[in-house]
Structure 1
Amino acid sequence: MSTRRLTYTLASAFVLLVVTGCGTGGDSDAEAVAWTNQVCGALSGFARAATTQPQVNGADPVATVRGLGDYFTATGTAVQGSITALDAIGPSPVAGGDEYVARLKGALTQIRTGFDAARGQLTTVDTSSVQTMSVALPTALAPLQELRNMADPTAGLQANDELKAAADKAANCQQVRSTTSPAR
């Protein structure tokens, strides 16, 4: 079902973009690695939730809507957890790190808003048949389409060699990368 792929793709692409925005780099100091590890750790719950595909059954409209709603709820909760965790991280020991976290929080807030709006719209979907649902579901999921136009939260990060190097050494960044990497 294309709806399932859209939601999964949007969320997992965001997480992958954020974590790979830290790319590869040279040496970094322990303080930068520890701070970057906390940033990636804050994203880990969202990464797991976002990359778990919604449970849908194309032959059962009620189950499909429920599965999408459950996915949006779980992802929205995980996004809020990431925002809260990012708020708890202290100031960056690396120039530009605080701005990066601010962009991440802004992007996560946009994602949460989109998923919450889509979840709310799901309550209006007529599940009396697959045909009626197939007409109403695209409208309900329109807030997710808007996420495609979201600004890249990693803009400018590629120029920060210290953050890139720290992310390469941070265990949580490696874990989030492996969570969001496509299966081979």
Structure 2
Amino acid sequence: MATPRPARAARVLLPTLLAALLAAGCSTTIAGTPSPDPAPPPTEGVGADPVAWGDQVCGALLSYYRPLTARPDYEGADLPGIKDRLAGYLGEVRGGIDAGSQQLTDAGASPVSGGDQFKASISDLLNRTGTTIDEARAEVDQADPNDVPGFQDRLTAAEEKLRTIGAAQGLEELGATPRLDKAVDAAPQCGELEELTAPA
């Protein structure tokens, strides 16, 4: 059997490659009965305003989710083109993760109970996802467009790594966090994040 030409192979290799990327979201509902919050609010910095703090933390996730949802357009691409566009896409996602991690650092300590755990869960998500994106990018970088079966194997390996991307962990243990809930509800970037991660 003749080896498929790269241009033809480009049209048949990618029907599911990126489908897994958006399968996992970070939409979390924090349940509980409102009660007094014992955390003393900071008197300066971002943490002096719970809404501003929540907005910056949600902005850190947006820095990651925006490029993640901007899927590459492979229309008319041959195998080298597919490799370049996919590598560029993964690079944009990695850049968003790095920017988000810096935003989390800049946000500082939480002014409300539960906020630091919320922030730590997001930091863990970004760190784990960054490692996965790096591993997927390594597979794509090693894909040889002149070796069609090997190229497909590399992209399949990248897809399998991307399927492991999950959501923030530990948020179910927060319990009642009325001030955090209020801050998140009022923060503009948290609202944008909720819309972006809402099930289709």
Query: Which band: TM-score by shorter chain?
Result: 0.7 to 0.9
The alpha-carbon distance between structure 1 residues 21 and 42, as it changes in their structure 2 partners (threshold 3 A), is same
Q: Which range is displaced more, 112-121 or 42-51? A: 42-51
- The runs of 5 or more residues in structure 1 that have no matched partner are none
Give 1:38's aligned residue.
56
| CA distance in 2 between partners of 1:178 and 1:156 (Å) | 24
Q: Give the C-alpha shift of residue 89 in structure 1.
A: 0.7
Give deviations 1:41-100, integer Å, cap 9, x for gaps: 222222211111123348622222222111110000000100011001121111121121
Q: Structure 1 runs of 4+ off > 4 angstroms?
A: 22-26, 129-132
Any residues of structure 2 matched to 1:82-121 within 5 Å, and which? Answer: 82-121=100-139
* Matched position secondary structure for 1:54: coil
- Higher helix residue share: 1
Q: Between 80-89 and 96-105, report the one with greater CA deviation.
A: 96-105
> Is 1:176 aligned with 2:190?
no
Give the aligned CA root-mean-square deviation in angstroms.
3.0
Q: Which amino acid aligns with 2:135?
A: A
Percent identity of the aligned residues? 29
Q: Are 2:92 and 1:74 equivalent residues in the alignment?
A: yes
Equivalence for 1:4: 18
TM-score, with structure 1 as normaliser = 0.79
Give the match's secondary structure for 2:169.
coil
Aligned mates of 1:172, 1:139 — CA distance in 2? 34
Q: What secondary structure, in the 3-state scheme, does the structure 1 residue paired with 2:163 have?
A: helix
CA distance in 2 between partners of 1:71 and 1:33 (Å): 32
Q: Find the aligned partners of 1:134 and 1:57 in 2 and give their Cα distance.
A: 18
| Alignment check: 8 A CA contact 2:30 2:176 kept | no
Aligned partner of 1:154: which letter?
Answer: L
User: Please, what TM-score do these two structures have when normalized by structure 2?
Assistant: 0.73
Specify whether residues 22 and 85 from structure 1 end up closer, same or farther in structure 2 by C-alpha distance, changes over 3 A only: farther
2:179 matched to 1:162? yes
Summarize the Cα distance change of 1:89–1:58 in structure 2 as closer, same or farther, 3 Å threshold.
Answer: same
> Among residues 47, 50, 64, which one is paired with 2:82 in the alignment?
64
- Deviation, structure 1 residue 24: 8.5
Count of residues paired in the alignment: 175
Structure with larger Rg: 2
Cross-structure match for 2:3: none
Match for 1:167: what amino acid?
A: V
